[in-house]
Structure 1
Amino acid sequence: MFETVLVANRGEIAVRVIRTLRSMGVRSVAVYSDADADARHVREADTAVRIGPAPAGESYLSVERLLEAAALTGAQAVHPGYGFLAENAGFARACAEAGLVFIGPPADAIALMGDKIRAKETVKAAGVPVVPGSSGSGLTDEQLAEAAREIGVPVLLKPSAGGGGKGMRLVRDVSVLADEIAAARREARASFGDDTLLVERWIDRPRHIEIQVLADGHGNVVHLGERECSLQRRHQKIIEEAPSVLLDEETRAAMGEAAVQAARSCGYRGAGTVEFIVPGNDPSSYYFMEMNTRLQVEHPVTELITGLDLVEWQLRVAAGEPLGFGQDGVMLTGHAVEARICAEDPARGFLPSGGTVLRLREPRGEGVRTDSGLSEGTEVGSLYDPMLSKVIAYGPDRATALRRLRAALAGTVTLGVQTNAGFLRRLLAHPAVVAGDMDTGLVEREAEGLVTAGVPEEVYEAAAAVRLEALRPGGEGWTDPFSVPSGWRLGGRPLPAGFPLRATGLEPVTHTPRGSHTVGEDRVSVTLDGVRHTFHRAADWIGRDGDAWHVRDHDPVAASLTRAGRTDADSLTAPMPGTVTVVKVAVGDEVAAGQSLLVVEAMKMEHVISAPHAGTVAELDVAPGTTVAMDQVLAVIEPVKPVKEETS
C-alpha cells in the first residue's frame, strides 16, 4: 500500500477521498488554488500544496503543477477524484511517466471510453446492446443528416468527445436538422475542442440506469448492482438511488453482466460506471450509452447497499491487490438515495449563486450521511462546479430511505449561499417519485410546481422581528423612553414600526410586525394567526426546511439617488455572481430590443444579457474579465425617445 497519496481535486470529493486515506493510515496531500487557500479539504489533509491562481486552467487543470506537487511531497500515487483531469488520458500517462501510480484505469481505457463512437463500436463487438444510431467517426453534416433520416426522428445529436449534456440536441423535425447539427458542432467545439458528432435514436420517457463495476489487475471483474439516475435537470443528475425499482432480478443480472463485458472489452481496471438508457415501458430493452472511467458523484449509494468503500478498493487495486471477493460475494441490502446540494437559486431559474457560508448545519443521524466540502466561512465563488455537498440516506426499504432523506434535507442549513435543498426535498415528495414512476424528463416537466413563489409572509415577519429586536435598548438601569421602538407619538395612537425590506429578485415591501416573536443568536421564531414559525438566521438570511431567503434592508432614497433618474427597466444587472466573458457593445451604440450585449459566466454556465428595449448604451461599467456580484449594474440602456409628430 502507498505511504502518501496526492488528491488532485477539491471540494467534497477531496474531503471524501482524504477520509478513506486517513482510515487506511495513508498520508494525504491536498492541492489548492488561491481561491481555496482556507478550504476544508486543505485543512483536513496531512499536508497541502499551492498549485496556482484561482482559474482552474492555471491550477487544478495544470498537469505540470500537479506533478510538481507530487514530487515535492514524496507522493507515490495520485487520486484524481472526478471532474477536472479524472478522465484525461494524457494526465494518466503523465503520472506513469513521472513514476506515479494513477488511481484509475489505464490511459488507453480512458481514451477508448472517452470517445463515444469508438466506445459504442467496442462494446457492441463484445455483445453489449447499443442505442441504434450512426456508425463511424468524422461524419460530415450530410452523413449525419442521412443517418438521422434512416433512424427516423426524434433523434439525439451527441458530441463524441464529452458529456454532461453539453452539445446534445434533440431533433424532432427533419427540416431543422442542418441548423441543429451546426449548433451542436459549435457547442461541442467550444466545450471539448472537438466538434465530432454522432446521432442516436431518441427514446421517449427514458430511464437512466447505470451499473457500478470494479476490476483488478488480475482478470477479476464484478458489478456492484445498479443506480437509478433518472431525476435530472438539463441532463445533469440531481437525485440518485440504489437499487432501481424498475428492474427485476433477471434484468438486473443481465445488465450487470453486460456492464462486466463492457469493462473487459477495454481492459478496464479500478472502479468505473457503465451507463444505460432504458425504455420505461420495456426495461429488458436496455442500451449502452457510455462508460465513465472514474469514481461517480453518486458512488455513496452503492457503498451503503454493498457495505464496500469504493475509494479503498480503488487504492487496493491500484496497489496491485486482487479483489477479495467474486460476484457471488456481492450482497445488496436495503435502499439508499442521494441528493446533490448545489449553489443555485431555483426561484431565479436555477441560476448559479455564490457568497460566504454564514451558517452551516449538515445533517447526521440514523441512516444519514453527508459528503461535503463546506465549512462556515467558506467562500463559494463562480470559478468551479456549483455542487457543494451530497446528502445520502439509507434504510431497510425505499420508503424509509426517502423519508429519512426528506427529513435530512429539511434539516440542512446553508445560509449565505442560495442552494437547491428545499427544491430537492419537495421533488422527493412528488407522487411520481414516491411511486418510482420516473423518467429523465420528469424534473423539467414538474419544476415550476416545485419552486416556491415569492416570499411567505412569515419570512418577512421574521426579518422584521430581527430588526425590531436590534432597536431595543440593552443593558440595565434606566431606559430612555424615547429610545424604545414602541411606535408612541405625541397626541396620537402608537404607530407600529414598518421596515422597508427587499428579498433577492423581488420588489421591495414595507413590513410591520404584527405577531409575537422570539429572537436568538441563530434562530428567530414568530407567531402569526396562532401558528408558530421557527427559522435559522444569520445576518440578513432567514432559512427553514432547506429553503433560504436573503432579505435585506431597502433604502428607497439611496436607491433613487443611485438610479439618478433612470428606471430599473433601463438597467442591465448581473443575474448571478460571475465573470464577464464577452462584451459586444460600447457606450453610444444603438441596440435593438432583445439584442445580445454581454455574456456572464459562472460555474460552467453562460448567461446572455440582452437589451430590455431598443435604445442607446448610456453606461457600460464592465469589460471582458470583470468579476461581478449578483444584481450589480452592468450597463444602462437609454430608451429611444418617441418622435413627436408636427402639427400644422
Structure 2
Amino acid sequence: MFDTVLVANRGEIAVRVMNTLRRMGIRSVAVYTDADAGTRAVREADTAVRVSDYLSISDMVEAAQRAGAQAVHPGYGFLAENARFARACAEAGLVFIGPPAEAIEAMGDKIAAKATVSAAGVPVVPGVSEVDEIAAAAAEVGYPLLLKPSAGGGGKGMRLVTDPADLAAAVESAQREARSAFGDDRLLLERFVTTPRHIEIQVLADTHGTVLHLGERECSLQRRHQKIVEEAPSVLLDEATRARMGAAAVEAARSVGYTGAGTVEFIVSAHAPDEFFFMEMNTRLQVEHPVTELVTGLDLVEWQVRVAAGEALSLTQEDIRLDGHAVEVRVYAEDAARGFIPTGGTVLDLHEPTDVRVDSWLSPGTVVSSNYDPMLAKVVAWGPDRAAALHRLDCALADTAVLGLTTNVAFLRALLADPDVRSGQIDTGLVERRLESLVPSEVPEEFFVAAALDRVLDLQPSGDVVDPWDVPSGWRLGGGGGVTMRLKAGETEALVRVEGSPDAATVVVGDGEPVRVSARREGNRLDVHYAGEFRRYRRAGEWLARDGFAVAVGERPNLLATRGESNEGGPVVSPMPGTVLVVKVAPGERVAAGAPLLVVEAMKMEHTLVAPVDGVVREVRVQAGQQVALDEVLAVVTPEAEK
C-alpha cells in the first residue's frame, strides 16, 4: 500500500479524497495555484505543493516527485481522463489511481467508444460521427438532434438543435467550447431521444480480471445538459432491467480492459424503460459517486486506491446489495433566476448541515472566482426509502446558508418539491419545462422586513447613557415619523418604513399593510417574530439567509441595470464576471434584435449577449480576452432613430 498520494485536483473532490486517505493512514499531498493558496484542501492536506496550472502535466508530476508520493489520484475534471497524464505518471514511476491510458483513450473519444462497445454487443444511440458535411449528416440523423464533443463530457459543448436554421450557430458554439474545455473540437451527432432519462451504472474492476457493477444512479434532473440532482437506485428500473443494464456496463468495461472505478452512462426513454442505449463511459470517479456509496456501504475512493495498489476485489456480484435510497444535490455558485449564470464572490459566512453527508470545500473567507467550475458542495441524504431521503435532503438544504454569493439552494428546494420529482416522473427536460415555477420571480417580502430591522439595529446607540436624539426614530414635530429606506434585493426594489424600536416595531413594505414585528440580533444571527412566526436568519454584511434562501439586500439600487431595463435599447451588460471570448460586432454596425453581439465565458460556461432592439451599435467597450465584471457595460445599442 502507498504511504503518500498526491491529489491532482482542487475544491470539494480534493477534500473528499483526502478524507479517505486520512482514514486509510495514507499521507496526502495537495496542489494549489496562487488563487487557491488558502483554501480548505490546502489546509487539510498533510502537505501542499504549488503548481502553475491544474492542467499542467509536468507540474503535477514534478509536485508528486518533490513530495515523495508513490501515486497520484486525479479526482474528476482537469486531468482525470487525460491519457497523456496517466502515461506521464507511469514514466515517472508514479501509480496513476485510475484506468490504464489505453482504456482512457478508447472511452475518452465518444466516436471510438461507440464503435468499441457496439462490437461488444452493447446497444448504442443511432448517430453519425463524420461531420465534415455537417448539414448532410444532420439530415441523416434527423431533428431534433444533439451535438456532442467527441472528447469530453459534463455537458460542456453539448447543444440541442431542433431547427436546421440553428445548426450553423450551434456547431460554431459547440466547437469553440469543446476546444476550450478539451482541446479537441470534433463533434458527434446523435438522434435526440424524446423524454430521455439519464441512467448510469457504477462499475468497479481490479487487475485480476474481476469486473462488478454496483447498481445504477438516476441523473435525469439536469440544467444545460449537466446533472444537478442524482439518486440511487432509479425508480424507473425493475430488477430484470437493472441486471441487463449492469451486465451491459460490465461488458463495456471489459471491452477496453478497464480497471478501477468508472461509470457507464445510458440514455433511456421514459416511455420504454426496458430499452437503453450506451452514451459514453466516464473513466474516472463521478461527482455523484456518494449516492452509490450510501446505498452500497462501499467507499469507492478506498477501492480505487486498493485496486491501484494491486489488491484484488474481495467482493462478488452477489455481495452487492442496495440498501435504502440516497439523493444528492449539487450546490452551485449560480443564479437560477438569470438562466443559471455563474456567480462569484467571497464567502462571508457559512452554515452547512451536520446530519447528512456534505462534500464541500467552503469555509468563511473562501474566494469563489470565475476561473473554475461553479460547484461549491454536494449535499447527500440517505433514507430507508425515497420519500424519507427526499425529506431529509430538503431539511438539510433549509439548514444551508452560503452568504456572500448567490447560490442555487432555493432553486434546489423548489425542484425537490415538484410533484413529478416527488413521484419519480422525471426526465432530462423537466427543469427547462418547469423553470418559471421553480424560480421565484420576486424576493419574499419577509427579507425586506428583516433587512430593514437589521439596518435599524445597526443605527441603535450603545452605552450606559443613551441620548434620545441618537435614537433612529425619525422624530419630528408631532411625533415619530419612523425610518424609511429604499432597499434592493436582486432585481426587486421596495420602499420600507420602520416605526418604533426593533424589539417592538411596525414595518410597512411598499403599499402593503403594516406588520407588527420584533427583532433581536446575536452575533451573526437575526431572530425575527413576524406574521405570527419565529424566524431565524443568518446575516453577514448585506446578506441574509433563511431556509436555504440567501439574498443580498442593499440600500442603493443598481442604477446601471435599472437604466438598461427602462430603455428600449441602451447598454448591454455582462450577466456574470468572466472573460470575453468573441466580439462579433463593431461600432456603427446595424443589428437586428436578438443578433449575437459578444460571447462571455465564466466557469467553463458560455453566454451569448444579443442586441436588445433593432438598431445601431454605438459603442463596443471590450475586446476578446478581456476580463469583465458583473453588470459591466460591454456595448451600447440604440434604435436607429435615437441619436
With structure 1 as the length reference, what TM-score do the two structures score?
0.90
Name the SS for the 1:6 alignment partner: strand
Q: Residue deviations 1:91-148, cap 9 Å, x none?
A: 11111111111100000000000111211111111111212333x6566436624532
Aligned letter for 1:530? Answer: G
Partner of 2:242: 252
- 1:281-316 Cα offsets, whole Å, 9 max, x none, are 222111111100000000000001111100000000
* Structure 1 position 510, deviation (Å): 2.1
Shift of 1:590: 7.1
How far the C-alpha of 1:580 sits from its partner, in A, is 3.1
Is 1:273 matched up with 2:275?
Answer: no
Pick one of 480, 488, 495 that aligns with 2:475: 488
Q: Which residue of 1 aligns with 2:311?
A: 321
What's the secondary structure of 2:551's corresponding residue? strand
Q: Is 2:358–2:379's contact at 8 Å kept on the other side of the alignment?
A: yes
Contact residue 580 and residue 600 of structure 2 kept, 8 A? yes
The answer on 1:8 being equivalent to 2:8 is yes
Q: What is the DSSP-based 3-state SS (H/G/I as helix, E as strand, rest coil) of the residue aligned with 1:390?
A: strand
Q: Which residue of 2 aligns with 1:416?
A: 404
Deviates more, 1:231-240 or 1:590-599: 590-599
* Aligned equivalents of 1:573, 1:274: Cα separation in 2: 41
2:537 counterpart of 1:535 = yes
Distance 1:596 1:128 in 2: 41
Distance 1:183 1:390, change over 3 A: closer
- Aligned residue number for residue 28 of structure 1: 28
Change (3 A) 1:233 1:476: same
Q: Structure 1 485/614 Cα, relative in aligned 2: closer, same or farther at 3 Å?
A: same
Task: Give the equivalent residue in structure 2 for 1:509.
Answer: 494
Residues 1:204 and 1:545: Cα distance change in structure 2 (over 3 Å) = same
Cα drift, residue 640 of structure 1: 5.1
Q: 2:552 aligns with which of 550, 565, 580?
A: 550
Within 5 Å, give how 1:423-438 maps onto structure 2: 423-438=411-426
Match of 1:646 in 2: none
CA offsets 1:355-384 (integer angstroms, 9 cap, x no match): 11111111111xx10000101110011000
TM-aligned CA distance change 1:579 to 1:527, over 3 Å: same
Separation of aligned partners in 2, 1:352 and 1:199: 28
Structure 2: tracts of 5 or more residues without a match: 499-506, 508-515
Q: What residue in structure 2 maps to residue 231 of structure 1?
A: 221
Q: Quick one: which amino acid aligns to residue 443 of structure 1?
A: V
Q: Give the CA deviation at 1:167.
A: 3.8
Deviations 1:244-266 (A, max 9, x none): 11111111111111111110000
Moved more, 201-210 or 570-579: 570-579
Task: Answer yes or no: is the 8 Å Cα contact 1:458–1:526 preserved in 2.
Answer: no
Aligned to 2:327: 337
Q: CA deviation at 1:215?
A: 0.2
Contact 1:230 1:439 in 2 (8 A): yes
In the aligned structure 2, how far is the partner of 1:158 from the partner of 1:587? Answer: 34
How far 1:457 moved relative to its partner?
Answer: 1.5
**Whole-angstrom CA distance in 1 between matches of 2:101 and 2:623:** 41
Aligned residue for 2:475, secondary structure, equals coil
On the 8 A contact 1:144/1:198 being kept in 2, the answer is: no
Q: Deviations over 1:45-98 (max 9, x none)?
A: 00011102xxxxxx0001111111111111111100000010011111111111
Map residues 198-237 of structure 1 onto 2, 5 A cutoff: 198-237=188-227
Distance 1:586 1:155 in 2: 33
Which string of whole-angstrom CA distances, capped at 9 and with x for unpartnered residues, describes residues 441-498 of structure 1?
A: 1111111101111122211111111111111110102x222111112112x2421110
In the alignment, is the contact (CA less than 8 A) between 1:203 and 1:279 conserved in 2? yes
Structure 1 residue 176, shift from structure 2 partner: 6.6
SS of residue matched to 1:9: coil
**Superposition pairs for residues 409-488 of structure 1, below 5 Å?**
409-477=397-465, 479-488=466-475
In the alignment, is the contact (CA less than 8 A) between 2:146 and 2:189 conserved in 1? yes
- C-alpha distance in 2 between matches for 1:43 and 1:410: 28
SS at match of 1:512: strand
Q: C-alpha deviations, 1:597-638, integer Å up to 9, x for none?
A: 443321111223344456676666544444333233445556
* CA apart distance, 1:544: 1.1
Alignment-derived partner of residue 497 in structure 1: 483
What is the DSSP-based 3-state SS (H/G/I as helix, E as strand, rest coil) of the residue aligned with 1:165?
Answer: coil
Find 1:283's aligned residue among 249, 270, 273. Answer: 273
Relative to structure 1, the CA distance from residue 256 to residue 596 in structure 2 (aligned partners, 3 Å threshold; closer, same or farther) is closer
Offset of residue 572 of structure 1:
3.3
Residue 411 of structure 1: how far off its partner (Å) = 0.5
- Distance in 2 separating the partners of 1:568 and 1:541: 32
Partner in structure 1 of residue 503 of structure 2: none
Segment of structure 1 superposing worse, 610-619 or 29-38: 610-619
Q: State the alpha-carbon separation in 1 of the partners of residues 585 and 127 from structure 2.
A: 43
Q: Which amino acid aligns with 2:496?
A: H
What secondary structure does 1:498 align onto? Answer: strand
Give the CA deviation at 1:172: 4.4
Q: Cα distance 1:611–1:172, how it changes in 2: closer, same or farther (>3 A)?
A: closer
Contact residue 49 and residue 69 of structure 1 kept, 8 A: yes
Alpha carbons 1:117, 1:137 under 8 Å: kept = no
User: In the TM superposition, what whole-angstrom CA distance separates every residue of 1:298-340 from its partner, at most 9, and x where no partner exists?
Assistant: 0000001111100000000000000011111112111100000
Letter in 1 for 2:73: H
CA distance in 1, matches of 2:54, 2:433: 36
CA 1:595–1:332: 2 relative to 1, 3 Å: closer
Amino acid at match of 1:541: W
1:132 to 126, 137, 142: 126
Looking at structure 2, the residues matched to 470 and 169 of structure 1 have their Cα atoms a distance apart, in angstroms, of 49
**Cα distance, 1:589–1:253 mapped onto 2, change above 3 Å:** closer
1:408 match: secondary structure: helix
Change (3 A) 1:642 1:431: closer
Give the Å deviation of 1:278: 1.0
Corresponding letter in the other structure for 2:422: V
Choose 445-454 or 307-316, whichever is displaced more: 445-454
Check whether the contact 1:145–1:178 (CA below 8 A) recurs between aligned residues.
no
SS in 2 for 1:213: strand
Aligned match of 2:50: 50
Quote the Cα distance in structure 1 between the aligned partners of 2:430 and 2:299.
Answer: 32
- Residue 263 of structure 2 contacts residue 281 of structure 2 at CA under 8 Å; is this kept in 1? yes
Distance in 1 separating the partners of 2:185 and 2:600: 24
Distance 1:569 1:155, change over 3 A: closer
Alignment match, 1:518: 519
TM-score (norm 2): 0.91
| Contact 1:464-1:499 within 8 A present in 2 as well | yes
- Superposition map of 1:560-579 within 5 A: 570-579=570-579
Alignment-mate amino acid for residue 127 of structure 2 = G
Question: What whole-Å deviation, never above 9, does each CA across 1:15-40 have from its counterpart, x for those lacking one?
Answer: 00000011111111100011101011
Say whether residues 1:114 and 2:104 are aligned partners.
no
For the structure 1 residues 73 and 482, does the alpha-carbon distance in structure 2 shift closer, same or farther, using more than 3 Å as the test? same
- Answer with 183-192 or 546-555: which moved more: 183-192
- Contact 1:139–1:197 under 8 Å retained in 2: no
Does the Cα contact within 8 Å between 2:569 and 2:638 map onto a contact in 1?
no
1:356 aligns with 2:338: no
Distance in 1 between residues matched to 2:56 and 2:476, nearest whole Å: 67
Farther off after superposition, 595-604 or 219-228: 595-604
Number of residue pairs matched by the alignment? 624
- What percentage of residue pairs aligned between the two structures are identical? 62
Query: Which residue of structure 2 lines up, in the alignment, with residue 56 of structure 1?
Result: none
